[in-house]
């Protein structure tokens, strides 16, 4: 049973293509932040905010150990808030309904 | 991401009745609320629990205001999924609801990473008869908008694009809400919290604790558009029949507690993965990559190939069961739906919509009685908690509460070893060669028993998971 039949191709969209399908209104400022950058830098070795995010919002780009936050990618799923074991994610809703608007959901 | 002016739909595509915008929301406004003290109850969130509560209270004659952060109810909401509708059907003219297909067929498949699949499929004749086992595939964008409209038609006021930021307390009791509107404070004797999984208000006000990440799942989903015929051919469907396909094992979501799904809408498929945040942080792949791998599994790819992605989405699911539930009743407030952790997810069942609606309905009735009695402290609202404790909601949560813990404990066995052992056993059992069938059977049995840790291990596992079927 483990023999591989020819499997049809499926689309594997880039995260940019995925996010392009979602209607978005920019709140103008980030609704996400870290409480204390020092905790990301010194205490955190796992960067779970980065691993859990389905929208590539949290990124380890610099070498200071503090994630950068592309808040305008955020799908408002909330997962980073639970993922961070240091309680270091500041999470608010974007104001007045801005942010994502799903059409289908 | 596209800007405000563009939606996911390309221009020039034929109009799709199922996906059209609903009629404009009567009374819906994004003006600054100036309703302070005008209402008997404030509902936080116009999702399933919120609209059920608002509808129930409005029908009982209460003045109700619903505050929703999205620019229309549903625009912030995501699910699989199947809407389970026993209570909604009683509360509304359900024939008019924007539905996709009823569940005529359910499958559960065990997928190994190597490409094996073992599927159990069921299509009881009874599901084809009204009311179709109260199981309908829907899309939340238009469904939630419609449901909120039923509450508005019953007399509730709906304010959109307004986020509740905190609760107002007076003499210790909850007496209203703060919003992100200028002068956006509103007073009312009761607040129904129906804010969903990301319950920032309940937590911020100290009514609920933040969940452990072992008790919350992350999901990633895409909606893909196909021809209607393609969907009906691939899944063997006619008319309004639909298929609900569930997948487990490391071929679905890796070595994680969770699974993948495909639900058939009229002209779209909802394809997604759901798995524990605890597992997600340990997977090298991001949720969108897990979704891509799931779609590429040899048993899944033929069902989803082609088409066009018209939306990508993500949402959290609370699945901590009865132990993770906050107190449902407080002085001046009640908590309903996902905000109260009312989701059953045990692999065979993923149910939150019915629990959200039931809790909103029961909360609405209790609030109406409390307001009529002139007292809205926790004791006066306790009828809500009692009704829930007596209902199938808490009964089901208690009955299956053990499952996710057990599954997390046995993760490797359930999602990794077992799918492979079953596939190998099937290979042996049905093998075509010159050995007698008795020998095939014997070696198949040996593989299964081996995976379960011998006969004693098999007996222990059977005992441990017996309640799933009792
Ligand atoms: C991927 C996935 C698949 C699922 N599949 C199924 C399935 O097949 N069947 C099933 O029965 N269940 C399923 N569920 C669970 C189900 O979706 C939920 O249990 C259900 O939606 C909960 O309803 P609710 O009203 O409590 O919350 P929600 O539907 O989340 O509604 C909450 C509402 O409150 C609003 N809100 C939140 N905070 C604020 C605030 N501060 N101010 C104003 N408004 C606010 C939100 O915008 C939203 O409209 C699934 C969930 C997910 C994520
Ligand atoms: S997981 Fe928390 S502490 Fe670690 S990098 Fe992310 S935000 Fe910082
Ligand atoms: S809420 Fe979800 S999408 Fe947004 S940053 Fe957190 S994990 Fe990423």
What spacing in Å lies between the alpha carbon of B171 and ligand 1's midpoint? 32
Residue B6 lies in a domain: no
Q: What is the DSSP letter of A14?
A: -
CA-only gyration radius of chain A, Å: 17
Among the partner residues B216, B280, B297, nearest to A51 by beta-carbon distance: B280
The residue whose C-alpha atom lies closest to atom 46 belonging to ligand 1 is B45
- Report which of B376, B382, B378, B383 is spatially closest to residue B189, judged by C-alpha positions: B376
- pLDDT single digits (tens) B259-301: 999 999 999 999 999 999 999 999 999 999 999 999 999 999 9
Q: B51 with B189, same domain?
A: yes
In a domain, B200, yes or no: yes
pTM for the complete prediction? 0.91
Predicted pLDDT at B378: 98
H or E element at residue B421: helix B418-429
Are residue B153 and residue B71 in the same domain, yes or no?
yes
| Contacts A102 to B, Cβ<8 Å | 74-78, 140-141, 311, 313
What does R_g of chain B's alpha carbons equal in angstroms? 24
Residue nearest to atom 29 of ligand 1 (CA): B47
If you measure from the C-alpha of residue A88 to the centroid of ligand 2, how many angstroms do you get, rounded to a whole number?
Answer: 6
Based on the domain organization, do B335 and B420 belong to the same domain?
no
Burial B284-312 (b: 16+ CB within 10 A, else e): eebbbbbbbbbbbbbbbbebbbebebbbb
- Residues above pLDDT 70, as percent of chain B: 93
pLDDT category, B32, cuts 50, 70, 90?
A: very low
On whether the CB atoms of residues A73 and B1 are closer than 8 A, the answer is yes
User: From the CB of B160, is ligand 1 less than 6 Å away?
Assistant: no
Predicted confidence (pLDDT) per residue in B56-101, tens digit: 999 999 999 999 999 999 999 999 999 999 999 999 999 999 999 9
For residues B201-208, average pLDDT: 97
Residues B379 and B424 in one domain: no
Residues B50 and B68: beta-carbon distance below 8 Å: yes
Q: Does residue A35 sit at the B interface (CB-CB below 8 Å)? A: no
Q: Residue B389's CB: how many other CB atoms inside 10 A?
A: 12
Q: Which atom from ligand 2 is nearest to the alpha carbon of A48?
A: 1
Domain ranges of chain A: 34-92
Q: Is the pLDDT of residue B423 over 60?
A: yes
Domain boundary, last residue among B342, B374, B399? B399
Share of chain A above pLDDT 70, in %: 95
Number of domains in chain B: 2
Query: First-to-last CA distance in chain B?
Result: 47
Q: What is the mean pLDDT of residues B236-261?
A: 94
B349 and B412 co-located in one domain: no
Cβ distance of B311 and A104 shorter than 8 Å: yes
Q: What is the pLDDT of residues B110-124, one digit of tens each?
A: 999 999 998 989 999
Q: Which of residues 66-85 of A touch B (CB under 8 A)?
A: 72-73, 75-79, 81-83, 85
Indicate which of A24, A55, A79 best probes the interface with B, i.e. most B CBs within 10 Å of its own CB: A79
Q: Quick one: B128 and B199 in the same domain?
A: yes
Taking chain A, what is the end-to-end CA distance rounded to the nearest angstrom? 36
Higher pLDDT, B454 or A93: A93
Do B388 and B431 reside in the same domain of the chain? no
> How many CA atoms within 13 Å lie on the side-chain side of B365?
12
Q: What is the pLDDT of residues B298-335, one digit of tens each?
A: 999 999 999 999 999 999 999 998 889 999 999 999 99
Q: Are residues B132 and B266 in the same domain?
A: yes
Beta bridge partners of B274: B219, B259
CB contact under 8 A, B313 and A83: no
Whether residue B315 is contained in a domain is answered as yes
Based on the domain organization, do B326 and B433 belong to the same domain? no
Same domain, B438 and B299: no
pLDDT band per the 50, 70, 90 thresholds, residue B102: very high
Q: For residue B461, what pLDDT band results from cuts at 50, 70 and 90?
A: confident
Among residues B399, B430, B452, the one where a domain terminates is: B399
Q: DSSP labels for B192-239?
A: EE---SS-HHHHHTTSSPPPPGGGEEEEEEEEEE--HHHHHHHHT--T
Boundary of a domain, candidates B369, B399, B429: B399
Yes or no: is domain A34-92 CATH 2.60.420.10? Answer: no
DSSP H/E element including B301: helix B301-304
Q: What is the CATH number of the domain that holds B331?
A: 3.50.50.60
Q: Are B238 and B266 in contact (CB under 8 A)?
A: no
User: How far does residue A90's CA lie from ligand 2's centre (Å)?
Assistant: 10
- Let me know if residue B3 belongs to a domain: no
For residue B415, pLDDT beyond 90: no
pLDDT score recorded for residue A63:
87
Which backbone phi and psi does B333 adopt, to 5 degrees? -150, 150
Per-position DSSP letters for B50-109, written without gaps between them: HHHHHHHHHHTT--EEEE-SSSSTTTT----SEEE-HHHHHHS-GGGS---EEEEEEEEE
Are both B388 and B425 inside the same structural domain? no
Nearest ligand for residue B84 CA: 1
Enclosing domain of residue B283? 41-399
- Torsion angles phi and psi, residue B299, rounded to 5: -85, -15
| B13 inside domain | no
Measured between CB atoms, does A28 come within 8 Å of chain B? no
pLDDT value of position A5 = 57
Q: Assess if residue B125 is contained within a domain.
A: yes
Which residue has a Cα nearest atom 27 of ligand 1? B196
């Amino acid at each position: 049973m483990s023999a591989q039949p020819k499997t049809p191709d499926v689309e594997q969209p880039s995260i940019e293509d995925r996010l392009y399908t979602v209607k978005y209104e920019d709140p103008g400022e980030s609704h996400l932040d870290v409480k204390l950058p020092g905790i990301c830098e010194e205490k955190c070795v796992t960067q779970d905010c980065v691993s859990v995010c389905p929208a590539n919002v949290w990124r380890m780009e610099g070498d200071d150990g503090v994630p950068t936050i592309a808040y305008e990618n955020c799908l408002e799923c909330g997962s980073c808030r639970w993922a961070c074991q240091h309680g270091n994610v500041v999470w608010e809703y974007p104001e007045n309904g801005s942010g994502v608007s799903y059409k289908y959901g | 991401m596209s800007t405000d002016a563009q939606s996911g739909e390309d221009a020039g595509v034929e109009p799709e009745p199922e996906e059209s915008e609903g009629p404009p929301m009567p009374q819906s406004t994004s003006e600054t609320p100036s309703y302070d003290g005008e209402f008997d109850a404030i509902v936080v969130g116009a999702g399933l629990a919120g609209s059920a509560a608002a509808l129930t209270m409005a029908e009982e004659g209460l003045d109700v205001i619903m505050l929703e952060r999205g620019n229309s109810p549903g625009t912030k909401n995501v699910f699989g999924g199947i809407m389970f509708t026993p209570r909604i059907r009683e509360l509304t003219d359900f024939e008019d609801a924007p539905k996709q297909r009823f569940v005529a067929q359910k499958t559960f498949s065990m997928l190994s990473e190597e490409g094996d699949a073992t599927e159990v499929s069921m299509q009881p004749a009874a599901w084809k008869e009204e009311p179709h086992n109260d199981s309908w595939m829907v899309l939340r964008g238009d469904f939630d908008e419609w449901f909120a409209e039923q509450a508005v038609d019953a007399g509730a006021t709906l304010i959109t694009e307004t986020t509740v930021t905190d609760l107002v307390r007076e003499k210790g009791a909850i007496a209203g809400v703060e919003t992100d509107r200028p002068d956006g404070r509103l007073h009312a004797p009761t607040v129904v919290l129906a804010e969903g999984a990301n319950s920032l208000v309940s937590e911020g006000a100290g009514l609920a604790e933040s969940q452990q990440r072992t008790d919350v799942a992350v999901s990633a989903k895409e909606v893909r558009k196909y021809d209607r015929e393609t969907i009906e051919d691939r899944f063997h469907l006619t008319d309004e029949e639909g298929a609900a396909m569930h997948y487990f094992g490391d071929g679905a979501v890796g070595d994680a507690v969770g699974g993948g799904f495909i639900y058939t809408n009229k002209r779209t498929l909802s394809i997604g993965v759901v798995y524990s945040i605890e597992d997600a942080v340990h997977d090298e792949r991001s949720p969108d990559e897990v979704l891509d791998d799931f779609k590429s599994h040899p048993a899944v790819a033929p069902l989803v190939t082609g088409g066009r992605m018209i939306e990508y989405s993500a949402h959290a699911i609370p699945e901590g069961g009865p132990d993770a539930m906050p107190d449902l009743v407080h002085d001046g407030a009640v908590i309903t739906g996902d905000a109260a952790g009312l989701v059953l997810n045990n692999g065979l069942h993923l149910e939150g919509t019915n629990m959200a609606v039931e809790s909103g309905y029961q909360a609405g009735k209790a609030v109406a009685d409390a307001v009529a009695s002139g007292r809205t402290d926790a004791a006066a609202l306790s009828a809500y908690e009692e009704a829930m404790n007596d209902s199938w909601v808490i009964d089901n949560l208690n009955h299956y509460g053990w499952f996710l813990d057990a599954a997390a404990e046995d993760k490797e066995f359930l999602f990794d070893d077992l799918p492979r052992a079953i596939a190998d056993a099937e290979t042996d059992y049905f093998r075509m060669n010159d050995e007698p069938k008795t020998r095939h059977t014997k070696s198949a049995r040996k593989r299964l028993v081996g995976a379960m840790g011998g006969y004693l291990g098999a007996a222990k596992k059977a005992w441990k998971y017996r309640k799933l079927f009792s």
